[in-house]
A and B are shown apart, each in its own frame.
Chain A
């Protein structure tokens, strides 16, 4: 559960509207891969048992295989946990004032970027592929006028609904007047002198 007081640099009267992670099927896909990796030594064990059983009793090969298997499982577990962290710590937060993108890139790189809603220019959602259509996940592309030109909510659940919610929020916020838009008609006014 993500409580409102966890919003980074929370502003006055700021309310949480959406708290989004990747779709659960993405992490299930990663877990399946680690399940497969965990099964490899079991297959190898039976292969060695029937092909070269002396390796399982050898005074050098047995300790070697034991320690290798132990290390293999420890590191598979570590990558399994890291895959969970990568999923769990990557979040997109939409409030009534801002869009915040929090990304954990590797172990030592964490990026938090944010944009005021009034800087948002366009919101697009897309669902590509069979799996995305079946499980209803996809990307939401938020184009902004700031330093970070685009936020991409990757592989989120129900992207069309997310885009709709953001578009609703955009209608409610006051937009700053663009000075270029005001000057443009003045330059085009014909002079009849």
Chain B
């Protein structure tokens, strides 16, 4: 019998989101440091940041209904 807490899933998710955010910041840094302000770059940055917020918001809205303290037995 294996017991897995849903917190383990949430913890793994959090770690991968942090890694994602590090790469996202590095990408944005590149655009600011080496790129230049234009409508094109501004628009793409807006799409990127808005996309991140939207995905995390939807995940939060759906995830809040789950009881993460549960333990699942296989």
> Given A6, A67, A81, A85, which contacts B36 in the complex, CB threshold below 8 Å?
A6
Count class of interface residues, chain B: 35 or more
For the complex, give the distance between the alpha carbons of A73 and B36 in Å: 27
In the complex the two chains form, is A60's CB within 8 Å of B6's CB?
yes
Q: Tell me the chain B residues, 33-55 only, with Cβ under 8 Å from chain A.
A: 34-36, 38, 40-41, 44, 48, 51-52, 55
Q: B30–A59 contact, CB under 8 A?
A: no
Count, A-B residue pairs, CB within 8 A: 80
**Given A63-B66, A74-B55, A81-B44, A89 and B20 touching (CB < 8 A)?**
no
Residues of A at under 8 Å CB distance from B? 1-3, 6, 59-60, 62-64, 66-67, 70-71, 73-75, 77-78, 80-82, 84-85, 88-89, 104, 107, 110
Which of B35, B55, B70 makes the CB contact (< 8 A) with A70? Answer: B55
Query: Once the chains bind, are A62 and B31 in contact (CB under 8 Å)?
Result: no
**Chain B residues within an 8 Å CB radius of A74:** 17, 20, 52, 55-56
Q: A59-B70, A60-B6, A74-B20 are in contact. Are A89 and B48 (CB under 8 A)?
A: no
Q: How far is the CB of B52 from chain A (nearest CB, A)?
A: 7
Q: Do residues A60 and B4 form an inter-chain contact, with CB atoms below 8 A? A: yes
